[in-house]
Amino acid sequence: MATAKSDVWTLQDAKARLSELVERARSGRRSVLPDVHDPWSASS
């Protein structure tokens, strides 16, 4: 089941990268969007 395991890690890596991008967007756009709600933090 190496493929399934690699798929899981790929999804986790993608989620981590998305979270990092969201954090960067939040810090950069905090003055424009004071309270941004991203679906990833809610689902995690």
Reported as a single tens digit per residue, the pLDDT across 22-41 is 888 888 766 555 555 666 65
The dihedral over CA atoms of 33, 41, 43, 12, expressed in degrees to the nearest 10, equals 130
Supply the pLDDT for residue 44. Answer: 46
Q: What pTM does this model have?
A: 0.43
Segments forming the whole domain that contains residue 25: 2-43
State how many domains the chain has.
1
How far apart, in Å, are the Cα atoms of 17 and each of 1, 21, 31, 42?
Answer: 25, 6, 23, 16
Query: Which of 36, 14, 16, 40 has the alpha carbon at shortest distance from 26?
Result: 36
Q: Which range has highest mean pLDDT (9-13, 17-21, 30-34, 37-41)? A: 17-21
